[in-house]
Structure 1
Amino acid sequence: MPLTPLDIHNKEFSRRLRGYDEDEVNEFLDLVIKDYEALIRENKEMQNQILALQERLNHFSNIEDTLSKTIIVAQEAADEVRNNAKKEAQLIVKEAEKNADRIVNEALNKSRKISLEVDELKKQASIYRARFRTLVEAQLELLTEEAWESLDINKQEAPIAAAE
């Protein structure tokens, strides 16, 4: 058990014939008590400071751990966001490529269809021209026949006038 200032103060020495001067011993003991009390107070203050510093150290260690975990979580989140963005970009590119292919295929199909329609219209126009030419030639042939010349135009006008 540690020695206290009260123990020093209450200490009684046995008396002998040729012992030390009692007043001198008491004065010295008072100095020892005073210094011992100061040392005890200083020791308690140091222990309190150590406890306070230990608490601060623990607090900052906790903050450091929290920050480290936060940085790790933030890095993981950033990596996840980056990966998701890459995946989304790839999906967008694939979708755009599909749409481009679809549009090109539709345009090609329309072009083929229009080309076929143009060819068909050319054929029909050619047939129409040939038929029209044939018709015009037949009508021209009819007009140039001698039978028309033999008809008297004046004779035909008279029955039309009588009918009116």
Structure 2
Amino acid sequence: MPLSPLDIHNKEFSRSFRGYDEDEVDDFLERIIQDYEGLIRTNKELEEKIEQLNERLQHFMNIEESLSKSIIIAQETAEEVKNNAKKEAQLIIKESEKNADRIISEALQKSRKMAMEVEEIQRHAAIFRARFRSLIQAQLELLESNEWRDFDKDATKVDLEIREATS
């Protein structure tokens, strides 16, 4: 066990015939006691300071650990957000491709339908022209036929009869 200032103060030396001067030894011991007390006080202060610094160190280590965990969580969250954004982008692209395919398919169907309708109209127009041509040719043949001349004579007779009847 280390000496305390009280141990030094209470220390008594045996006396001898030609020993040291008692006052000198007492003065020296008094100086040693003061220095020793100062060293003990300084040592206690340093121990207290070390304890405070250890507490602060522990506090900063806790903060460092929390920050490390926060950074890891932030990195994981950022990675998750990035992956989700990629997945969402892929879904949007797939949806857009489906919509584009659907729109193209519908446009092709409408185009085919319109082409068929145009062909149908052209066919009807050709039939109409052929029938109209036949009708006109039949009418021309009728106009050029002898029957028309006979009809014209009959119509003139009817007109004369109507005039005579009304007069």
Shorter-chain TM-score above 0.5: yes
Q: How many residues align?
A: 164
> Per the alignment, in what secondary structure is the counterpart of residue 2 of structure 2?
coil
Structure 1: how far apart are the matches of 2:160 and 2:58?
A: 135
For residues 124-163 of structure 1, what are the structure 2 equivalents within 5 Å?
124-150=124-150, 151-152=152-153, 153-161=155-163, 162=165
Offset of residue 6 of structure 1: 2.0
Offset of residue 16 of structure 1: 4.1
RMSD: 2.0
For residues 7-86 of structure 1, what are the structure 2 equivalents within 5 Å?
7-86=7-86
Does 2:111 correspond to 1:111?
Answer: yes
Q: Note closer, same or farther for the CA distance 1:160–1:2 as it changes in structure 2 (3 Å cut).
A: farther
Q: Note closer, same or farther for the CA distance 1:21–1:89 as it changes in structure 2 (3 Å cut).
A: same
The one-letter code of the counterpart of 2:159 is: E
Map Cα deviations across residues 74-126 of structure 1 (whole Å, 9 max, x no partner): 11111111111111111111111111111111111111111111111111111
> Per the alignment, in what secondary structure is the counterpart of residue 141 of structure 1?
helix
The one-letter code of the counterpart of 2:115 is: S
Aligned to 2:2: 2
Structure 2: how far apart are the matches of 1:156 and 1:122?
A: 46
Which deviates more from structure 2 when the two are superposed, residues 39-48 or residues 4-13? 4-13
> Per the alignment, in what secondary structure is the counterpart of residue 19 of structure 1?
coil
Offset of residue 4 of structure 1: 1.7
Structure 2: how far apart are the matches of 1:83 and 1:160?
A: 102
Q: Note closer, same or farther for the CA distance 1:126–1:58 as it changes in structure 2 (3 Å cut).
A: same
Offset of residue 57 of structure 1: 1.6
Which deviates more from structure 2 when the two are superposed, residues 66-75 or residues 9-18? 9-18
Offset of residue 37 of structure 1: 0.4
Does 2:96 correspond to 1:96?
Answer: yes
Offset of residue 10 of structure 1: 2.6
**Structure 2 gap ranges (5+):** none
Structure 2: how far apart are the matches of 1:63 and 1:159?
A: 130
Offset of residue 159 of structure 1: 4.4
TM-score by structure 1 length? 0.89
